[in-house]
């Protein structure tokens, strides 16, 4: 009996100890499980940061993109030198984006090309992940934690393009929807302060982010005014206070930038966003059209179905009419970016808000039957697999980690077919380009250098600031931005410049020659710089020559056969401009034109325009152009082989035209064709002048 009692007592003690251990484990693990989504976000950020910042292998760069990689590397380098977007130079992005790109380089005290390339994306990726977590916490806060964890995991590893801009827009939507659901007389000022800070902050990320975030504010307040009738007085107060606070923020930012009454940052951002629609349109390919169609159809189906079960007092935010209407409007509105510049790099981010809305609605079911929850969750997973096929949406973080650990070599070594350059393994051809540009630019003590048309990484490689009022010359479209670019060149007067020859060193941006896209900048270079050395890969080094500008002369001649005309367009096609005949030798052609579009072109994009040059030997050259709708503009053309244009930088004018067959232009035509089914055709084209231009040194 005594032994049995002892065993029972021992068993009871063991059970009690087990219960205490279980209770302790639950107290430790329970809070972690309740915050599983936050833990997943932090772990993912920590892994990415550690791989990108702590791994000291040279970054593997088999093909450095001298267009897009240049502006990213240049922005990060500018931050390390205290040169700010919006204050010192204009671009489509703003100072907050510059902070994200450049902070790792600043903190680690390294500004080599390879290190910047490896680290520029660290903070944008981390911020994107944390914003996705915030979106889930705000809109799926009433759901079980496993749903928020699933939303975060699927969005980060399958859906998220890691372009922080559309994620900021969706986060602003999430905050404002929660603000409207909790708005009352006591919280109006608080929520107005939050909203105004978010809108201004979005503008400081990029112009389009600010515009879309401002649209979010208007749309959410509008739908709240429709559905929350009892709060209309508070909504009016909220709108007025938010507007006043945004205006106050604008003056604060101006003061930080140097002048309270200087609106250069805001005007530059709005000009860049406005000109983007006509200056950089790209044809919508069939596969992208199919993808967008599927996304739009799914958005209509999913959000429309949720609308049937929505109610204003629903416990789940995704079942509230305010969220469904606002989310649908923003999802459709953000598609504009992908419809204008229709490549995967832009279509992916443009569809992100729609994809995020679909995921939120499928997972934000509220209290429903388990079968319904499982069905909707399954649909969300199927949607994630579909979106993962898109190049810009693939789970590239996993690929990124694999590449850093397996492709790069240990102890700073590079593969045998590559060369080491500033913490990067680059191809032999790009090593020659970078190293020779570095050597050329370091031959001057001037802290600035100019690179035309866009390869600013060459200046960074030599630890120089790329001069210019606009970050890259190809982006200086429109009168205001071009004036900023030229004013900076006149002010800084850099001693050295690098020129990338079209079709050899420089790709044509959207098939438009860089001379035709930025003629004022090209002529500034040709007037003020002479050839100093031939570098590598089609790049030439230029040195400032003030005497050259004093001797420079331009003369123009109008064709005696050409008559101004207005062409009424009945559709796409080629329209005749007539014969041309000039009596003196010439170097360039200059057309004065005006394209008249209906007002709805602003909801889509203009058409592609080509000028056809017919020569005396029977050959034809097609010159693609970009023209601001409903404005007078100039179009400059070099009629012959554009790989020979670099010769115009030679000291002797007799060498400018050597070795280049130059048949006379005898006839002009202009071709107009839509990029795709959503392009708008001009109603008329007015051609006022067709001049032949010759340049010389006296």
Which pLDDT tens digit goes with each residue over 320-331? 899 999 999 999
Higher-pLDDT residue of 37 and 337 is 337
Q: Is residue 200 part of a domain?
A: yes
Confidence at 152, pLDDT banded by 50, 70, 90: confident
Q: What is the mean pLDDT of residues 349-368?
A: 82
Are 229 and 265 contained in the same domain?
Answer: yes
Are 612 and 670 contained in the same domain?
Answer: yes
Residue ranges making up the domain that contains 487: 432-544
- For 582, which DSSP code? -
List for the chain the helix, strand, coil content (%; round to 5). Answer: 55, 15, 25
Are 503 and 469 contained in the same domain?
Answer: yes
Sign of the Cα torsion 626, 627, 628, 633 reads positive
Q: Is a pLDDT exceeding 60 seen at residue 371?
A: no
Q: Is a pLDDT exceeding 90 seen at residue 51?
A: no
Long-range contacts of 99-108 (CB under 8 A, 24+ apart): 99/123, 100/124, 100/127, 100/164, 101/72, 101/75, 101/76, 102/75, 102/76, 102/77, 102/78, 103/79, 104/52, 104/53, 104/76, 105/76, 105/77, 105/79, 105/80, 106/79, 106/80, 108/53
Q: What is the mean pLDDT of residues 561-574?
A: 87
- The whole-angstrom separation of Cα 696 and Cα 526 is 10
Distance of alpha carbon 20 from the chain centroid: 56
- The whole-angstrom separation of Cα 304 and Cα 47 is 39
Confidence at 405, pLDDT banded by 50, 70, 90: very low
Structure tokens at 354: 């729609």
Total of domains in the chain: 5
Q: Distances from the Cα of 81 to the Cαs of 102, 133, 165, 177, 494, in angstroms?
A: 10, 33, 25, 39, 17
Phi, psi of 54 (to 5 degrees): -95, -25
Structure tokens at 599: 């007002």
| pLDDT score for 310 | 76
Q: Which residues pair with 609 in a beta bridge?
A: 625, 672
Confidence at 411, pLDDT banded by 50, 70, 90: very low
Are 536 and 579 contained in the same domain?
Answer: no
- The whole-angstrom separation of Cα 420 and Cα 431 is 8
DSSP, collapsed to helix, strand or coil, labels residue 75 as: helix
Are 559 and 684 contained in the same domain?
Answer: yes
Q: What is the mean pLDDT of residues 215-231?
A: 91
Of 195-199, 265-269, 278-282, where does the model show the most confidence? 195-199
Are 216 and 255 contained in the same domain?
Answer: yes
| pLDDT score for 500 | 93
Q: Is a pLDDT exceeding 50 seen at residue 64?
A: yes
Share of the chain above pLDDT 90, in %: 45
Q: Is a pLDDT exceeding 50 seen at residue 292?
A: yes
Residue pointed to by tokens 């993962």: 388
State the average pLDDT for the chain.
85
Contact indicator for 613, 621 with CB cutoff of 8 Å? yes
| pLDDT score for 484 | 92
Confidence at 19, pLDDT banded by 50, 70, 90: low
Q: 229-233, 268-272, 412-416, 437-441: which range is least confident on average?
A: 412-416
| pLDDT score for 637 | 95
Q: Is a pLDDT exceeding 80 seen at residue 663?
A: yes
Are 301 and 320 contained in the same domain?
Answer: yes
- The whole-angstrom separation of Cα 519 and Cα 249 is 37
Q: Is residue 48 part of a domain?
A: no
Q: Is residue 491 part of a domain?
A: yes
Long-range contacts of 285-289 (CB under 8 A, 24+ apart): 285/342, 285/343, 288/338, 288/342, 288/343, 288/344, 288/347, 289/676, 289/677
Contact indicator for 614, 666 with CB cutoff of 8 Å? yes
- The whole-angstrom separation of Cα 283 and Cα 604 is 12
DSSP, collapsed to helix, strand or coil, labels residue 534 as: strand
Q: Is residue 221 part of a domain?
A: yes
Q: Is a pLDDT exceeding 60 seen at residue 370?
A: no
Are 259 and 185 contained in the same domain?
Answer: yes
Q: What is the mean pLDDT of residues 337-362?
A: 86
pTM value? Answer: 0.89
Q: Is residue 402 part of a domain?
A: no
Are 637 and 596 contained in the same domain?
Answer: yes
Are 540 and 557 contained in the same domain?
Answer: no
Q: Is residue 103 part of a domain?
A: no
Q: What is the mean pLDDT of residues 659-684?
A: 89
Contact indicator for 13, 123 with CB cutoff of 8 Å? no
* Strand duo 418-420 + 496-500: pairing: unpaired
The last residue of one of the domains, among 496, 512, 544, is 544
Q: Residues 6 or more apart from 522 whose CB is under 8 A from it?
A: 452, 514, 515
Q: Is residue 142 part of a domain?
A: no
CATH number at residue 574: 2.60.120
Residue pointed to by tokens 């090309």: 113
Are 580 and 691 contained in the same domain?
Answer: yes
Higher-pLDDT residue of 222 and 290 is 222
Confidence at 12, pLDDT banded by 50, 70, 90: low
- The whole-angstrom separation of Cα 114 and Cα 408 is 12
Count CB neighbours of 203 within 10 A.
26
- The whole-angstrom separation of Cα 579 and Cα 561 is 6
Q: Is a pLDDT exceeding 90 seen at residue 52?
A: no
Phi, psi of 506 (to 5 degrees): -120, 125
Q: Which residues pair with 637 in a beta bridge?
A: 589
Q: 77-86, 341-350, 461-470, 520-529: which range is least confident on average?
A: 341-350
Q: What is the mean pLDDT of residues 685-691?
A: 91
Q: Is residue 245 part of a domain?
A: yes
Are 303 and 370 contained in the same domain?
Answer: yes
Q: Is a pLDDT exceeding 80 seen at residue 32?
A: no
């Amino acid at each position: 009996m005594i032994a049995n009692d002892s065993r029972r007592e021992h068993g009871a003690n063991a059970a009690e100890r087990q219960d205490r251990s279980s209770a302790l484990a639950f107290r430790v693990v329970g809070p972690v499980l309740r915050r599983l989504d936050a833990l997943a976000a932090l772990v993912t950020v920590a892994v990415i940061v550690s791989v990108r910042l702590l791994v000291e292998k040279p970054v593997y760069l088999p093909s450095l993109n001298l267009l897009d990689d240049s502006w990213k590397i240049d922005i990060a380098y500018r931050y390390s030198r205290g040169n700010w977007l919006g204050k010192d130079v204009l671009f489509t992005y703003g100072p907050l984006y510059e902070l994200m790109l450049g902070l790792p380089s600043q903190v680690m005290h390294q500004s080599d090309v390879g290190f910047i390339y490896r680290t520029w994306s660290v903070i944008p990726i981390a911020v994107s992940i944390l914003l996705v977590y915030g979106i889930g916490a705000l809109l799926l806060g009433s759901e079980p934690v496993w749903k928020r964890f699933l939303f975060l995991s699927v969005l980060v590893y399958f859906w998220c393009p890691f372009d922080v801009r559309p994620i900021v827009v969706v986060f602003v939507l999430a905050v404002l929807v929660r603000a409207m659901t909790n708005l009352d007389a006591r919280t109006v000022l608080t929520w107005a302060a939050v909203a105004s800070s978010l809108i201004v902050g979005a503008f400081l990320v990029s112009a389009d982010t600010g515009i879309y975030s401002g649209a979010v504010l208007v749309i959410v307040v509008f739908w709240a005014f429709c559905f929350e009738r009892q709060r209309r007085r508070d909504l009016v107060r909220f709108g007025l206070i938010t507007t006043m606070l945004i205006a106050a923020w604008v003056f604060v930012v101006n003061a930080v930038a140097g002048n309270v009454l200087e609106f250069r940052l805001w005007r530059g951002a709005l000009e860049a966003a406005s000109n983007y629609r006509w200056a950089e349109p790209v044809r919508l390919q069939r596969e992208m059209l199919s993808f967008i169609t599927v996304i739009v159809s799914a958005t209509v189906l999913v959000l429309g179905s949720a609308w049937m079960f929505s109610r204003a007092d629903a416990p789940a935010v995704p079942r509230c009419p305010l969220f469904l209407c606002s989310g649908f409007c923003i999802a459709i509105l953000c598609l504009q970016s992908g419809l204008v510049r229709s490549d995967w790099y832009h279509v992916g981010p443009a569809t992100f808000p729609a994809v995020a809305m679909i995921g939120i609605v499928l997972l934000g079911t509220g209290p429903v039957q388990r079968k319904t929850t499982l069905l909707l969750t399954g649909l969300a997973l199927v949607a994630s697999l579909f979106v993962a096929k898109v190049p810009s949406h693939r789970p590239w973080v996993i690929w990124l980690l694999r590449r850093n650990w397996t492709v790069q070599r240990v102890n700073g070594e590079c593969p045998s077919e590559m060369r080491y350059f500033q913490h990067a393994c680059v191809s032999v051809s790009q090593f020659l380009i970078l190293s020779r540009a570095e050597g050329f630019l370091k031959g001057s003590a001037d802290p600035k250098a100019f690179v035309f048309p866009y390869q600013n990484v060459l200046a960074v490689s030599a630890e120089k600031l790329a001069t210019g009022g606009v970050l890259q010359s190809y982006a200086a479209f429109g009168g205001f931005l071009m004036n900023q670019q030229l004013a900076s060149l006149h002010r800084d007067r850099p001693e050295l410049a690098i020129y990338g020859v079209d079709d050899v060193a420089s790709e044509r941006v959207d098939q438009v020659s860089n001379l035709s896209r930025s003629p004022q900048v090209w002529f500034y270079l040709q007037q003020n710089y002479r050839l100093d050395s031939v570098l590598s890969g089609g790049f030439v080094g230029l040195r400032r020559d003030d005497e050259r500008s004093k001797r420079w002369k331009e003369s123009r001649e109008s064709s005696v056969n050409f008559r101004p005309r207005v062409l009424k367009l009945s559709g796409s096609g080629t329209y005749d401009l007539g014969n041309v005949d000039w009596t003196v030798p010439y170097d360039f052609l200059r057309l004065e034109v005006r394209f008249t579009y209906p007002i709805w072109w602003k909801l889509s994009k203009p058409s592609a325009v080509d000028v056809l040059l017919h020569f005396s030997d029977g050959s034809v050259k097609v010159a693609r152009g970009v023209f601001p709708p409903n404005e007078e503009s100039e179009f400059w053309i070099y009629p012959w082989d554009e790989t020979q244009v670099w010769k115009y930088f030679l000291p002797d004018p007799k060498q400018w035209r050597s070795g280049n067959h130059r048949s006379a232009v005898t006839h002009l035509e202009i071709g107009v064709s839509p990029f795709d089914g959503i392009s708008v055709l001009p109603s008329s084209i007015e051609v006022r002048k067709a001049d032949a231009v010759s340049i010389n040194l006296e």
